[in-house]
Every structure is written in C-alpha cells, then in structure tokens.
Amino acid sequence: MTNSPLKIRVLLADDHAVVRAGIRQFLETAGDILVEAEAGDGAEAIRLIEKNPPEVAVLDIQMPKMTGIDVTRWIRTHYPRLGVLILTAYDDEPYALSVLQAGANGYVLKTAAPQEIIQAVREVYAGKSVVDAVIAQKLVARLAHPPAAAVDALSERELEVLVLVAKGQTNKLIATQLNISDRTVQGHLAHIFGKLQAASRTEAVMRAVALGWIAQDIAAADE
C-alpha cells in the first residue's frame, strides 16, 4: 500500500472483480479517498491488513474462505481502531445485526448512491456509525415487534442439525454423527430453511446467529 497521509486509505474486499472496479472508481473520484488494496476473499483481506493496515476496510458480507462478518471479528480483535464499513446487497436485518454485533462501524447497501457510499467511508473514518436508511427502518421495526421465541421455532433435532451445519459439517458427516440417513438430514434442512426463510446453509446459519439461536463462536469454529 502506498503511504498517502492526505487521503483516507481504504482496503476494498469483494469477490467480484467488476464490482470492486466500479466501487474503486467512484470512491477515488471523491478526491480524499484512496483505495490502496483490493481483496477477492476474506483471507486475502486479512493478509493485506496485516501487511499494511488501512484506515477503513470496506467489506462485502459473502466472500470465499472468510465472510465479511469473520473478517470484522478478526479486525476488532487485532486492529480495534480500524474502521469497518460493510457494503453489501443484503438488505435484511439478520445480516445487519450479525455484522454490527461483530463490531462493524457501518452497513450500507450497494444500491445506495455513490455519494452516499463515499460519505459513509468518511463517517466511518471519523469514528461515526453509519446504517443504511432501509436497514435502520427494519432494525427499528424488529425492536418494536420482536419475533417469537426463537428456539420454539425449531425442533430439538433441527437445532442439532443447524449447529453441525454451523460447524461446517457436510450432510454425510451430520448423518453419521446423529445416526440418521442423508435423506433425513436433507429433510431437516428443508424445514430449517423454510422456518428461517433462508435460501442456503450459510444464510440459515447467519440468521440463526443474528437471532441468538446459535452462538457466534460456534458458527466461526470451522474457520
């Protein structure tokens, strides 16, 4: 990374090169922001931060190897003063809750106007918190109308399956450990996805962590 004391030094991490190029282009048009390094996955982001810490890390949530939530947790442990801005397409509150609980300073949607994202980088750099208006509304609504008790929504067996999923185990390993068939595991996962309104294993785990069904340290155990 190049030393540029007059500009906000940024690390940009997103697994889509075209997206990174677009974000970098409009960030640097601001004049006071310099994208010094780019990462295509969470592990690479950590390596680059260790090599030369930026002032703000702009992270996507879903990335290979380590998610934006994992990287945020690592940053808070090793570089607590580094600003973290999550820039993502996910506009549902479980993701926002997970990443804010992990220690992110801001959560902005990729659909926001370029100037809004530029301003978010500036505010995170200044030590302020930034939450996209759409997400803020959902978080307020969630606090005003909290969901029913989470554990009651899953059977004991479904919760066991979800915990093993969070630990990174495959369907076959889960079946062996619980002494059930692969087909039964698939059935439990289908029910879990339906109850959590999740489209994937990762999304189900992230929702469960955000809702307090699964501890964050369990979900991060396989990293």
CA distance 166 to 84: 24
Q: Does residue 140 share a domain with residue 41?
A: yes
Helices (H), the chain: 17-28, 42-51, 68-78, 93-102, 114-125, 133-144, 156-166, 171-178, 182-196, 201-210, 216-219
SS3 of residue 189 by DSSP: helix
- Number of structural domains (the chain) is 2
Name the percent of the chain lying above pLDDT 70.
87
Q: Does residue 127 share a domain with residue 20?
A: yes
Is 133 contained in some domain?
A: yes
Q: Does residue 107 share a domain with residue 191?
A: no
Q: Does residue 172 share a domain with residue 102?
A: no
Q: What is the mean pLDDT of residues 193-220?
A: 73
Q: Does residue 86 share a domain with residue 135?
A: yes
Is 54 contained in some domain?
A: yes
Cβ density class 49-83: b for 16+ within 10 Å, e for less: beeebbbbbbbbbbbeebbbbbbbbbbeeeeeebb
pLDDT at 150: 43
More confident residue, 55 or 191: 55
Is 2 contained in some domain?
A: no
Q: Which domain holds residue 74?
A: 8-144
Q: Does residue 114 share a domain with residue 167?
A: no
Is 156 contained in some domain?
A: yes
Domain closes at, from 105, 126, 144: 144
pTM for this predicted structure: 0.65
The 10s digit of each residue's pLDDT in 120-162 is: 999 999 998 888 877 777 666 655 555 554 444 788 898 899 9
Domain closes at, from 93, 127, 144: 144
Q: Does residue 16 share a domain with residue 78?
A: yes
CATH at 69: 3.40.50.2300
The 10s digit of each residue's pLDDT in 2-46 is: 454 589 999 999 999 999 999 999 999 999 999 999 999 999 999
Q: What is the mean pLDDT of residues 197-207?
A: 77
Domain closes at, from 102, 123, 144: 144
The 10s digit of each residue's pLDDT in 71-120 is: 999 999 999 999 999 999 888 767 787 788 788 899 999 999 999 999 99
In DSSP notation, 122-160 reads HHHHTT--EE-HHHHHHHHHHHHSPPSPSGGGS-HHHHH
